[in-house]
């Protein structure tokens, strides 16, 4: 991607133009090309900024051009570099797992006071994906034990590597099953980020999001199929007085409240809004 005499700044600008031509918004393209350069060269943001007038290091290519080409095909950047940050830690990701998102950190923030009050708690993470919730809780609450489930064996391999990477492989047990099917334990805390995108919203998703695993995204016609399954698992596997922390989608708060109300043993405690002020996390207690 670099021409003779071109500076690093020229190369980055050319890459942005390629991504913008592929339909990626300008601000995203800027972030992407800066990220790729930093990852490949091992530089921080300041070094990339001060190096824009320099000849591009030989180490930049051919990987940089390859990554830009993949992004132009709308592959998510997290899959391209193989990582995504979550709650201050880097997690391996692959096309087998949903890419962790900032709004899911509200589950962690809600869980930590509960785990501080019950240091030896047994926690379930349903549909663990990359293991970002399970591993983060194990890191932040070293006394707890976590059983993390997923229907995808490939996803569980990624999650297990993340547990080992962050030193909590002895705290987290991974099981290949749907929600808590076949799991005999009962739990003090259940965490879940189930698939909740409505089928009708499929075409409205960005091409990059549609590259993520469908099983982790779509929750049926009203988006509630996975949420209902989590609530059923909660009724059967949450100890009295225990807590469910569950993410849900935009506009689903009333449906979630109604689904909880249909289960006599559960009590809707509160909802947590994301940084945009949108309700996104349900906090539910077992009576």
Average the pLDDT over each of 16-30, 121-135, 194-208, 253-267 and give the range with the smallest value: 194-208
pLDDT digits (tens, 9 = 90+) for 126-136: 999 999 999 99
pLDDT > 70? residue 3? no
Predicted pLDDT at 4: 61
Count of CB atoms within 10 A of residue 233's CB? 23
Q: What is the mean pLDDT of the chain?
A: 96
pLDDT tens digits, 217-261: 999 999 999 999 999 999 999 999 999 999 999 999 999 999 999
Q: Is the pLDDT of residue 1 over 80?
A: no
- The CATH number that domain 96-286 falls under is 3.40.50.150
Q: Nearest 5°: phi and psi at 183?
A: -90, 125
How do residues 145-178 score in pLDDT, each as one tens digit?
999 999 999 999 999 999 999 999 999 999 999 9
């Amino acid at each position: 991607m670099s021409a003779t005499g071109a500076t690093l700044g020229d190369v980055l600008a050319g890459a942005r133009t390629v991504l913008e031509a592929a339909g990626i918004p300008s601000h995203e393209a800027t972030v992407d090309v800066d990220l790729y350069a930093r990852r490949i060269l091992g530089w921080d943001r300041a070094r990339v900024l001060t190096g824009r007038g320099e000849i591009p290091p030989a180490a930049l290519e051919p990987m940089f051009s390859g990554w830009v080409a993949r992004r132009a095909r709308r592959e998510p950047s997290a899959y391209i570099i193989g990582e995504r940050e979550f709650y201050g830690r880097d997690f391996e990701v692959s096309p087998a797992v949903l890419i962790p998102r900032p709004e899911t950190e509200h589950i962690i923030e809600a869980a930590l006071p509960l785990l501080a009050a019950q240091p030896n708690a047994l926690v379930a993470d349903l549909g663990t994906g990359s293991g970002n919730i399970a591993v983060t809780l194990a890191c932040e609450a070293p006394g707890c034990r976590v059983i993390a489930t997923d229907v995808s064996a490939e996803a569980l391999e990624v999650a297990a590597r993340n547990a080992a990477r962050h030193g909590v492989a002895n705290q987290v047990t991974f099981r290949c099953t749907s929600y808590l099917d076949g799991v005999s334990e009962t739990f003090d805390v259940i965490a879940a980020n189930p698939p909740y995108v409505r089928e009708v919203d499929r075409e409205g998703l960005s091409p990059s999001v549609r590259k993520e695993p469908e099983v982790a995204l779509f929750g049926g016609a009203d988006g509630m199929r996975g949420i209902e399954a989590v609530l059923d698992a909660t009724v059967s596997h949450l100890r009295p007085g225990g807590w469910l922390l569950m993410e849900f989608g935009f506009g689903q708060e009333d449906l979630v409240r109604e689904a909880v109300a249909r289960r006599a043993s559960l009590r809707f405690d509160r909802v947590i809004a994301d940084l945009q002020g949108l309700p996104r996390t349900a906090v539910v207690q077992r009576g």
